Amino acid sequence: MKIAALQMVSTANVNHNLATARRLAGEAAALGARLVALPEYFCLMGHKEHDKLRHAEALGEGPIQKTLADIAKENEVWVVGGTLPLRCNDASKVLNACCVYAPDGTLATRYDKLHLFRFDNGKESYDEGAVLQAGQSAVTLDIQIDGQPLRIGFSICYDLRFPELYRAMMSPPCDLICVPAAFTHTTGQAHWELLLRARAVENQCHVIAPAQAGLHENGRRTWGHSMVIDPWGDVLAMLAEGEGVVLAEVSPSRTADVRQQLPALNHRRF
If we measure between CA atoms, which residue out of 69, 2, 66, 62 comes closest to residue 36?
Answer: 2
Is-catalytic flag, 93? no
- Set 43, 88, 99, 157: catalytic member: 157
Per-residue DSSP letter, 86 = E
* CA 258-28-225 angle, 5° bins: 65
Return phi, psi of residue 197, to 5°.
Answer: -70, -35
Q: How many CA atoms lie within 13 A of 94 on its CB side?
A: 20
Alpha-carbon distances of 187 from 183, 190, 200, 223, 224, rounded to whole Å: 7, 5, 19, 8, 11
Which is the catalytic residue, given 2, 40, 99, 243?
A: 40
113 is catalytic: yes
Rounded Cα gap, residues 208 and 248, in angstroms: 9
- Alpha helical stretches, state H, 42-142: 51-54, 63-75
Q: Look up 123 and say whether it is catalytic.
A: no
Q: Give CA–CA dist 116/113, Å, rounded.
A: 7
Distance CA 44, CA 79 (A): 18
Cis peptide before 173 (omega within 30 of 0): no
- Catalytic residue, chosen from 98, 113, 174, 241, is 113
Cα 2 to Cα 47: distance, rounded to the nearest angstrom: 35
- Using alpha carbons, select from 175, 184, 267, 186 the residue that is nearest to residue 220: 184
Catalytic residues: 40, 113, 157
